[in-house]
Amino acid sequence: QQPVQSPQAVILREGEDAVINCSSSKALYSVHWYRQKHGEAPVFLMILLKGGEQKGHEKISASFNEKKQQSSLYLTASQLSYSGTYFCGTLSGNTPLVFGKGTRLSVIA
Amino acid sequence: DGGITQSPKYLFRKEGQNVTLSCEQNLNHDAMYWYRQDPGQGLRLIYYSQIVNDFQKGDIAEGYSVSREKKESFPLTVTSAQKNPTAFYLCASSLGPLSYEQYFGPGTRLTVT
């Protein structure tokens, strides 16, 4: 079952912050985050494993609350290069990664 | 340079024809995947393979077939049974099964008329 991402789309000015949420109805083993720029392949950002950890990648970080079966991606002081569609992928048990429908992020000057 | 290649980038076919999309990786990854991407739908899994000579259906396998005869190669055939084949197709690979990060190829945009 596809995880649900919110919001579906967001527009930011450079320097603003954003949060993208990903929630699942299933118990999760891990959450993956990817970013895809228009017409390009998705690129891996980070994996969060069961344990409620928070990870960071430059000014992009994420958290994983396994009790709530939710993950959030935090983008701080956004840059034009952050524009793209962000996908979360969730892993439950022994089944392959299931991706959400994506959140389209547009950063404008 | 290590990576995943997909060819061709754009492919046009007439309805009723089978077409095979190529996916090759030189990352020495065990697992490979095929996804279909439609606007607003995210990435949906067609087939995946965790090891040579073995593969499993994903969520939308109907009308597609795959083979995994070599570790480096995982071609996808879109058959005439696929009702709506026009889409962007992405191939990916990962070092190990399921939980490892996936590396994606550049994709093939298939148009069937």
To test the contact with chain B by mutation, choose from A30, A94, A97 the residue with the greatest count of B C-beta atoms within 10 A, namely A97
Task: Report whether pLDDT(A84) > 80.
Answer: yes
Residue pair A50/A68 in contact by the 8 Å Cβ criterion: no
Structure-token pair, residue B55 = 């593969």
User: CA of A21 to nearest chain B CA: how many angstroms apart?
Assistant: 15
- Cβ distance of A99 and B107 shorter than 8 Å: no
Residue among B42, B48, B106 minimizing CB distance to A96? B48
- From residue A109, alpha-carbon distances to A14, A42, A83, A98, A105 in Å are 5, 24, 11, 33, 13
Q: If you count residue pairs, one on A and one on B, with CB atoms under 8 Å apart, how many are there?
A: 49
Structure-token pair, residue A95 = 């089944």
Task: Report whether pLDDT(A54) > 70.
Answer: no
pLDDT tens digit string along B47-106?
999 999 999 999 999 999 999 999 999 999 999 888 999 999 999 999 987 778 899 999
pLDDT tens digit string along B32-41?
999 999 988 8
| CA-wise closest residue to A95 among B61, B69, B59 | B59
